[in-house]
Amino acid sequence: MAVYTDISEIQLADFLTDYGLGALLSYKGIAEGVENSNFLLRTEAGTFILTLYEKRVNRDDLPFFVGLMEHLAERGISCPLPVHTKAGEALGELAGRPGAIFTFLEGMWTRRPTADHCRAVGRAMAGMHAAAGDFGLRRENGLSLGEWRPLFESCGDRVDEIEPGLAAAIDEELAFLEANWPADLPDGIIHADLFPDNVFFLAGELSGLIDFYFACNDLLAYDLAIGLCAWCFEADGSFNVTKGRGLIEGYASVRPLSAAEVAALPILCRGASMRFMLTRLYDWLNVPEGSFVTKKDPREYLRKLRFHRAVASAAEYGFDIDRVTQ
């Protein structure tokens, strides 16, 4: 649920004179993305998305995000393609905010992912990793291992309100992750937020990836771990090994994993669970009631973390290790 900024038809028509998209026919604020304001535009040239970047997005990161989408789209990844102004710019300014116009992707995110969806997501994730390999910009992950303890500490002394003993459990888990986090795995640009609402399907086929505003340089297999957390658990909290196998085998069919990556999957999944638990925990304790931001229960990721802590080897995620390694 978004749309923070209202824009007038006069401002928008003026903004559009910089583009070769013909006259503005209509625009509607849409409930998509939580960091930015998004509008569905219709002009004489077709249907587009206008994104205005709100305060939570660092302006200095915008050339990375917008450039990455352009780079990926040029390499055949189905993602929003930034539309250039007549002067060749992908970023403009509207209502005092940086803004960009993107091509519109048909498709819908799936509320009920199946193993087939997971396999398609795995393939698309690996395709994105490969296509981003020669992108020229870097962006550090602002929510990686080193940021977790400060984020935890900023939650203050109310963490045990969520569940008694939680603060001590997080402290212990962070110590484990800090001591054992893998250092020498392949890295590159990852999506870092490839949840179901960021993947569109059309007629059963994956039709696009959106929302690259957490994309960054990090371990490639960490993106896969985020995917396992985001796609492969059922509503009752159980891990679905068929979906796990689909996601991992789909990924490896495009980019085979190394034995070290496979071995690291359980700890990467523990880290991914920690990362989403901590941001949810922070929001749970700090976002005012009744805000536009829907607060998500951090305990969902606490349960996922506990599942991954109990995993003895990556084989428990449901796949045949020989089939996915190089």
Residues at the contact surface with its own copies, assessed by CB under 8 A: 1, 3, 8-10, 12, 23-32, 40, 42, 47, 104-112, 200-203, 288-292
Q: Closest approach of Cβ 112 to its own copies, in Å?
A: 6
Least distance (Å) between residue 280 CB and its own copies: 19
Q: How far is the CB of 44 from its own copies (least distance, A)?
A: 10
Cα-only R_g, the chain: 20
Q: Which is nearer to its own copies, 41 or 143 (CB)?
A: 41
> By C-beta, is 23 or 168 nearer to its own copies?
23
Tokens of 23: 């006259």
Q: How far is the CB of 273 from its own copies (least distance, A)?
A: 25
What's the distance, CA 176 to chain centroid? 25
Least distance to its own copies, CB of residue 201, Å: 8
> Which parts of 44-195 fold into alpha helices (H)?
62-74, 115-131, 145-154, 166-180
- The kind and range of the H/E element at 286 are helix 259-286
Of residues 112 and 138, the one with the C-beta less far from its own copies: 112
CB of 26 to its own copies, least distance (A): 5
CB nearer to its own copies: pick between 137 and 202: 202
Give the nearer residue to its own copies in terms of CB position, either 110 or 325.
Answer: 110
CA atoms within 13 A on the CB side of 70: 17
Where is 13: in which H helix or E strand?
A: helix 9-16
Cα–Cα distance, 140 to 315 (Å, whole number): 30
Place of tokens 């997501």: 121
Distance of alpha carbon 217 from alpha carbon 215, whole angstroms: 7
Closest CA to 59 of 96, 113, 23, 34: 96
User: Looking at beta carbons only, is 9 or 297 nearer to its own copies?
Assistant: 9
